[in-house]
Amino acid sequence: MKEKNVYLTILIISIVCVALSITIQTEKKQYSSNQESICSAITGSNGCETVQTSKYASIFGIDNPIFGIIGFSLLVIFSSISMTTSIKPLKYLILTGSIIAGLTAIWFLYLQILVINRYCIFCLMVDILSLILLGIAICLLYNTALKHK
């Protein structure tokens, strides 16, 4: 796969993750204990409320989706620039961001599956896409290592 296509893939995934993170944060802020459930876009019983109101839903008092919005927005910017220019430090930032996203996804999946025992559908989508970003980063690192042999 051409390098430009790799960054286009990262760009598209990151845009989707920004949109999902905004959706999660919007749902979270519009939530009130009087409504039937969080994630009103989904009918029926879901685990979004349990996940988004758990003690794991924020770090240092900042909602986790805010970190997603910022991190994935940076990946959007960096991958957009990398599609047109070749700035090596920027490529390392993309790799680092993708690895952080993937490792964070593993942590959040662990929490949802083994600790909270409930699932937020939007969170799962972000986590799966983040794992794809991790896979892309690993492939890029592997290909870079092969070139330097």
pLDDT of amino acid 43: 43
State pLDDT tens for residues 57-99: 899 999 999 999 999 999 999 999 998 888 888 989 999 999 9
User: Which of 118, 122, 97 is closest to 40 using CA atoms?
Assistant: 122
The three-state secondary structure class of 87 is coil
Is the pLDDT confidence value at 18 over 50? yes
Bridge partners of 58? 63
100-113 pLDDT, tens digit each: 999 999 999 999 99
In this prediction, residues 21-48 reach a mean pLDDT of: 68
Assigned CATH class of 3-147: mainly alpha
b (16+ CB within 10 A) / e for 102-130: bebbeebbebbeeebebbbebbbbbbebb
